[in-house]
């Protein structure tokens, strides 16, 4: 089944403890991105990647890092999480960065930073 998977689905952590949220897709998509969803602010893009080793900032990149060493994986790294990073995170992918293609989203990761 074609899908985007994320792990973990739920995470409670403490301020400053480094964490990684994994994202993987099995559709051979070149383009991947991360969004966060917050009440009243909607979904906002954090980072995106057009292909392996090609990443760039979205609208809200502060406090996050990403890497794209393999085509299928695009992990989101929080080096020193803070409470304002408590949010619902979504990974998305599409065939290429070309704007013709539909985007597919993962199931989400609910992160709580205390």
Binding site residues, another protein, CB under 8 A? 4, 31, 33, 35, 40, 42-43, 45, 48, 50, 56, 58-59, 90, 92, 94, 97, 99-100, 102-108
Burial class (CB in 10 A: 0-12, 13-18, 19+), 68: buried
* DSSP β-bridge partners for residue 94: 31
Smallest distance, Å, CB 50 to another protein?
A: 6
Smallest distance, Å, CB 30 to another protein?
A: 10
Smallest distance, Å, CB 63 to another protein?
A: 19
Closest to another protein by CB, 85 vs 94, is 94
By the 8 A CB rule, do 58 and 34 touch? yes
d(CA 50, CA 96): 7
Relative to beta strand 19-25, strand 31-38 is unpaired
Closest to another protein by CB, 31 vs 64, is 31
């Amino acid at each position: 089944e074609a899908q985007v998977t994320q792990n973990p689905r739920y995470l409670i952590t403490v301020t400053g403890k480094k964490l990684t949220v994994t994202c993987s897709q099995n559709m051979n998509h070149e383009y991947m991105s991360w969004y966060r969803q917050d009440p009243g602010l909607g979904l906002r893009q954090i980072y995106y990647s057009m292909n392996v080793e090609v990443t760039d900032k979205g609208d809200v990149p502060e406090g996050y890092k990403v890497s794209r060493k393999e085509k299928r994986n695009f992990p989101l790294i929080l080096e020193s999480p803070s409470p304002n990073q408590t949010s619902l995170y979504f990974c998305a992918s599409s065939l290429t960065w070309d704007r013709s293609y539909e985007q597919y989203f993962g199931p989400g990761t609910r992160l709580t930073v205390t």
